[in-house]
Amino acid sequence: MICYGGFGDKIWLYTSGLTAYNISNLEEVVNETKLAEQNRFDINNFPDDPRFIDEMLTDGYIRFTAINAEKYCIDVNTLKITSAIELPGIAVEKINEKIRSQVTHHDRYGLRIDTSGSKIYILAKDSANAMNSYPGNSDDEPVYKRLYLFSTNFTIRQIGNHQFYDYMNMKILSGASYPNGIFLKDLAENKVFQLKKPDGYLILHSDSLTNEARSIVTAIDKNNNMLWQINTGLSTRITNCIVKNKYCILTGNRHYLLGPHIGSDMICVIDLESGKQTTPSIAE
C-alpha cells in the first residue's frame, strides 16, 4: 500500500488499485470502478503496478501509464481522465517535475514550537535550547534525543520589519519526555493541530532511540498530562501523516529502512476523540 497524500477533501492511496477516501469521515469516495464508469474508461486498462503511477497532487492530478502503454492523467478535482497528450500545460508539469527532482525532500509533519494564546509551548532537549527556539525558526529535523515540554509567557517587540520574542517565566512542565518528539501539524491549515476539550497537543515520538523503535502518538493537555497514548506499530520511517478534523492518518513501514522509503506497508487511523486506533489491512 502507498499513500500519496491529501488533496482537497480526499486522501489518495494505492492498495490493490487507486482509491481515495474522504478525509473527514474516511469513507471511500473514489476507486477504479467509479473512475472507469464516470469516464467510460476500460477498467482493465488501469496499471496493475504502482510504479506506473506518477502522482503530482501539488499540481492537482495523478498521471499513469496504462496497460496499453498510453499515458493518462486524472484531474483530482473533477476525477476526469484525460489523455496526457491532450492535457494543456504539460510543459509546466515538466518544469515542476524538474524543480521537484532537484529539491531535497524532507518529511515535515509538525513543529517543535507553538503559540497558544498568551503562551508558547516548546519541545526541547534543555532550557538553553528552549530559550533559543522562536516561532519561525523551529527545528523539525530528527534529533535522536529525549525532548521535554516547556512553556513560557512572551511579548513581541517590533523593530522595522522584524519581530523579536522576549520570553518570561520559562519553565519545564513535569511529566513525560518524548524521544525525537514533534507536535503534529494539520497540513491543510499549515499549523500545529490543537486538541479541544481539553486543550492540548498530539505528539509523535519514538518509544526508544534505536533503529527498531516504534512510532508513538501521545495526546496531552497543556500541563503535559497524558490523555491517551497509542503505539502505532509503525517504525520511525513515516511516509505520510495527515491530521484533519477527528482523525490522524499515518502510513509507513513496519520496519526501519535506511535511505529513501521502499514502499509503505501499513496504515494507521487514529480517532482523536476516542484515542482508538484502526489498522486496516492492505486488502481493505
CB-based contact 36:17 (threshold 8 Å): no
For the chain, the domains span 2-101, 110-278
Q: Give the pLDDT mean for 119-136.
A: 90
The per-residue pLDDT of the chain, averaged, comes to: 81
- What is the gyration radius of the CA atoms in the chain, in angstroms? 21
Q: Give the pLDDT mean for 180-199.
A: 85
> What grid cell was written down for 149?
515540554
Distance CA 86, CA 70 (A): 12
Amino acid found at 49: D
Say which residue, 24 or 247, is predicted with more confidence.
247
Find, among 102, 103, 99, 72, the residue nearest to 87 by Cα.
72
User: CB within 8 A of 92, min separation 6: which ones?
Assistant: 59
Parallel/antiparallel/unpaired status of strands 200-206 and 182-186: antiparallel
Q: Strand pairing partners for 145?
A: none
Question: How do residues 47-62 score in pLDDT, each as one tens digit?
Answer: 888 878 877 776 778 8
Amino acid found at 149: L
Residue 71 confidence (pLDDT) above 70: yes
Residue 146 confidence (pLDDT) above 90: no
